[in-house]
Amino acid sequence: MRLQLHIWRQKNSREPGRLVPYAVQADEHMSFLEMLDVLNAELIRKGEDPIAFDHDCREGICGACSLVIDGVPHGPRAATTTCQIHMREFPDGAEITIEPWRAYAFPVVKDLMVDRSALDRIIAAGGYVSVRTGAAPDANAIPIGKNTAEKAFDYAACIGCGACVAACPNASAMLFVGAKVSHLALLPQGQVERTARASRMIAAMDAESFGGCSNHGECEAVCPKSISLDAIAKLNREFMRAVATGES
Amino acid sequence: MPVVPDPKPANSSERPQPLGSTIGRKVVMALSGAVLVGFALAHMAGHLKVYAGRDDYNAYAAFLQGLGGLKWLVRFGLLAALVVHVRSGLTLAARNKGARPHAYAVKRAQRSTPYGRTMLLSGLVFVAFLIYHLAHFTLGWVHPQYFALKDALGRTDVYGNFVRSFQSPIITGTYVIATAAVSMHVAHAASSVLRTLGISSGALRRSCERVGPALGVLLFVGFASVPVACLLDLVKP
Ligand code: SF4
Ligand code: FES
């Protein structure tokens, strides 16, 4: 299949970028990233600068891949990362625009690659449980009900890709923060630091200049792990809990 | 001994200001908005009394005017709610705009609604309308010809002023447009409030998401029907 691509090229975070047209011959069984590999091989052959894009596992679990494909973060398939999109999703001769995640908090490193360490700093502010190191604790030493365990697991499924930020009209990180806060607030291990965690992570999120949540729901629609907006409702409850207990 | 600097500056994540945070502002905006929607519903129910005729309507208006201190308390409460609501809305809007300085060349909305994305516009249209509306019916500055009438009992003929005003297509048109703006605002806002306050989740989510559009339609029909009825001569002065 022949494709007409419009790809965002940008040298670094300081220089302005622009959309550059490329034609590429691809196979419908290729993944989206393999199609870009083919284009890059061609660019290298011609002595041109290959297109920089993030990827690692290429099996939908690491959260590195991050392309806005025709205006939708992670492309046309629901609950699917960019690396799991295949070219059969597109008609022959398709024109596809590819842009990076766009947010003040995600500066472009090069081309389609952005710096998402803002999300790491939010996690470092409280997205963990403090445990004493030593021998591994006994499995099942702390019983957790099945429903709670499953709910916590659903929130824990977040891979930190940042598509929620990319999709949000306000570039808000509420779904990401909500997923982590909810995950740990549901589990007994998370109780000790529960209130401090919520207020610290919210403060860290604000300090990174992410926007606020307007409840549009764009994040949930593009999240490759189908994290529910319930995470945001829960984050709001955890915030009010922190204010009420005076621990904010 | 070398001085080890504190790794965390005192104003960063250690001591957040809860009400100044994005979520804090959202909660404040949600609560003040809920007060305003509550008033809108009461106001709508009140002015539907026009359909009950001149006597009922003027008696109701006289009753409200007779509330004295309570009336002023409510007025100040509403003004405070409005000021707080607009302030948090503008602050958040500016922040949200700054969070995406570079727009996408192509962006396809998946879930958001046109009325949800135009909250700032519908809100500002409403504030402009509110000033006109108060100048019209409360202060009598604009259209004073509809303000001075008295009814047979010597009461201010609010009913007559009201119905005569809306015989003008321009006045009715203005009110219908403003009503549409408020209704669109509330259609997104009411459901948004429920999530901001943490209510809209789990089993309650679907019902909560219907509250906004339902209230929006209710407010539009309730508010727009009366001026339109006057314009079409279905209600006589
Ligand atoms: S919530 Fe979903 S979209 Fe956001 S970072 Fe986690 S996995 Fe990615
Ligand atoms: S490359 Fe790891 S999730 Fe796509």
State which residues form the domain around A170: 117-244
Distance CA A211, CA A218 (A): 14
CA–CA dist A151, A239 (Å, integer): 19
Which band of pLDDT confidence, cut at 50, 70 and 90, is reported for residue B16?
Answer: low
Judging contacts by C-beta atoms under 8 Å, the chain B residues touching residue A125 are 13
CB A165 within 8 A of CB B100: no
From A66, A93, A110, the end of a domain falls on A110
Interface of B with A in 198-217 (CB under 8 A): 198-202, 205
Q: Are residues A47 and A126 both part of a single domain?
A: no
* Residue B74 confidence (pLDDT) above 60: yes
- Give residue A238's pLDDT: 97
Asked if pLDDT for residue B8 goes beyond 70, the answer is no
Structural domains of chain B in order of their starting residue, each with its CATH number: 21-93+115-231 (1.20.1300.10)
A204, A222, A239 ranked by CB distance to B13: nearest:
A204
Tokens linked to B2:
């070398």
- pLDDT higher than 50, residue B3: no
Nearest listed ligand to the Cα of residue A161: 1
Specify whether A104 is located in the same domain as A133. Answer: no
Answer yes or no: do A72 and A125 share one domain. no
The number of folded domains in chain A is 2
What's the Cα-to-Cα distance from B43 to each of A213, B46, B71, B173, B194, rounded to whole Å?
30, 5, 13, 19, 22
In DSSP notation, B197-236 reads TT-SSGGGHHHHHHHHHHHHHHHHHHHHHHHHHHHTTSS-
3-state helix, strand, coil in chain B (%, to 5): 70, 0, 25
- End-of-domain residue from the set A110, A127, A154: A110
> What are the pLDDT digits (tens) for B122-137?
999 999 999 999 998 8
Average pLDDT for A118-131: 96
Mutation choice for ligand 2 from A56, A69, A74, CB with most ligand atoms inside 8 A: A56
CB contact B117 to A (< 8 Å) = yes
Is the Cβ atom of A163 under 6 angstroms away from ligand 2? no
Q: Is A103 found in the same domain as A151?
A: no
pLDDT at B38 over 80: yes
Name which residue leads in pLDDT, A197 or B150.
Answer: A197
